[in-house]
Amino acid sequence: MHRRDFTTHLLRAGALAALPLPAAERQPLRDVANARHLLAGAAVSYRELQREDCRALLAREASILVSENDMKWQSIHPAPDRYDYTRADALLAFAKTSNAKVRGHNLCWHQQLPRWFPSTATSGNAGELLRAHIAEVAGHYAGRIHSWDVVNEAVFVEDGRSDGLRKSPWLELAGPSYIDLAFTTAAKADPQAILTYNDYDLEQDTEAHEAKRRAVLALLKGLRARNVPVQALGIQSHLVASTSPYQWSGFHRFLDGAEKLGLTIFITELDVDDTALPADIADRDRQVAACYQDFLSNALKHHNLQAILTWGFTDPDTWLNHFHPRKDGTPQRPLPFDGQLQPKPAYFAMEQSIEAAPRR
Ligand code: G3I
């Protein structure tokens, strides 16, 4: 049996957790993706970047990387008049040696703002603070970033505004035009990076996700109509495994809408929250993998999808253990590699969905 058929068979049979596949016998995911003109990779923390075994794994598997935290305002702009590029530069240096592209995350967000921000930012200076930060940071990395998450998570329908925008410090201090300002400033500072709007909760066929999709699409339409240089949509894809599989009609309509606007699409932060699944590891890994496969095989139907990144790559380092711990106290298993850096069923689900993707 061909290895791919064998993998499919095992995935269906739920036996993949036990499949021994030495790294030397596997084609790296980056090569599988490259054959489909796709980029594949992951978010990386500074701690992981210090580990030789993680570097080797990433060098082998990832053609695109993003810093989990080190390009955010809090890390890169620690004082009003000081920028610290140490950690982010280390990622770029590693990416250069491993011939991987780097996404920039992010230039404008309501979270992980520096401690000095609340006492310094006012309605009088917020626009200029944003402009200066983006000009400086995107300028520092000009020509070296594949794509920037210029604005992250600006939509939050639950805040009750008719335009669906989040009542973030940026909105409250600078007004809704802060989004236009962020993109136009980024375009000036780095004309080569693909300028991206990035958000979450866009995947499921629920009323809440549908409302968010509507608001995000309306935002993107407005930006394009005003000739604001937004070029890509980043879909975070923090999925939640459940016993009832997702339906994808709303998601497909949404991606069709983004494609009509001429936007490139990236899956930017893929992982699968397993809090609703039983503790048994083989069962959990199988259901998480099924979720990866279901999602990716749907997303990959869209030709504008160019890159797939998971949010982290080994289970022990997932943000989910801090933000959404399992009730039974066992650690979550949301990512393609386990703590021994061995590929899990989710890895093979990624590989298989990418191999099966229509040519682009
Ligand atoms: O920097 C401090 C460090 O000094 C301190 O010792 C340590 C003690 O806990 O905390 C460190 O800060 C933490 C930071 O991660 C770096 O590890 C923060 O407490 C913690 O809140 C922060 O969490 C990050 C989170 O964004 C912030 O909202 C997660 O690692 C990161 O995975 C997560 O990533 C976000 C994306 O940027 C946007 N989309 C959603 C995604 C998941 O929330």
Atom number of ligand 1 nearest to Cα 106: 37
Closest CA to 168 of 183, 180, 155, 150: 155
24-67 pLDDT per residue, tens = 678 999 999 999 999 999 999 999 999 999 999 999 999 999 99
The answer to whether 282 and 17 have CB atoms below 8 angstroms apart is yes
Which segments of the chain have a pLDDT < 50? 1-18
What's the 71 CA to ligand 1 centre distance in angstroms?
A: 12
C-alpha span between 314 and 337 (Å, rounded): 5
State pTM to two decimals: 0.94
**Contact yes or no for 157/164 (Cβ under 8 A):** yes
Domain ranges (residues) in the chain: 3-13+25-355
Nearest alpha carbon, ligand 1 atom 3: 75
Distance from Cα 210 to the centre of ligand 1, integer Å: 28
For domain 3-13+25-355, give the CATH number: 3.20.20.80
- How far apart, in whole angstroms, are the C-alpha atoms of residue 329 and residue 333? 12
pLDDT at 242: 87
128 catalytic residue (yes or no): no
* pLDDT score of 358: 87
Pocket of ligand 1, beta carbon within 6 A: 68-69, 111-112, 152, 236, 269, 319
The dihedral built from the CA positions of residue 29, 35, 36 and 42, taken in this order, carries a sign that is positive
The CA 336 to ligand 1 mean position distance, Å, reads: 20
Measure the CA–CA gap between 342 and 191, rounded to whole angstroms.
39
CB 174 within 8 A of CB 151: no
Distance 331 CA to ligand 1 centre (A): 17
pLDDT at 245: 76
- Ligand 1 center–CA 191 separation, angstroms: 29
User: What atom in ligand 1 is closest to the CA of residue 105?
Assistant: 37
Tell the residue nearest (CA) to atom 34 of ligand 1. 68
Considering the candidates 61, 68, 153, 351, report the single residue annotated as catalytic: 153
Reply yes or no on whether 48 is catalytic.
no
Q: What does the pLDDT read at residue 19?
A: 52
**Which of 50, 67, 68, 69 for a ligand 1 pocket mutation test, highest count of atoms within 8 Å of Cβ?**
69
| Residue whose CA is at the smallest distance from ligand 1 atom 1 | 75
C-alpha 25/C-alpha 23 separation (Å) is 5
Rounded distance from Cα 182 to ligand 1 centre (Å): 23
What pLDDT does residue 25 have?
A: 77
pLDDT digits (tens, 9 = 90+) for 91-122: 999 999 999 999 999 999 999 999 999 999 99
- Best residue among 47, 71, 112, 240 to mutate for probing ligand 1, ranked by most atoms within 8 Å of CB: 112
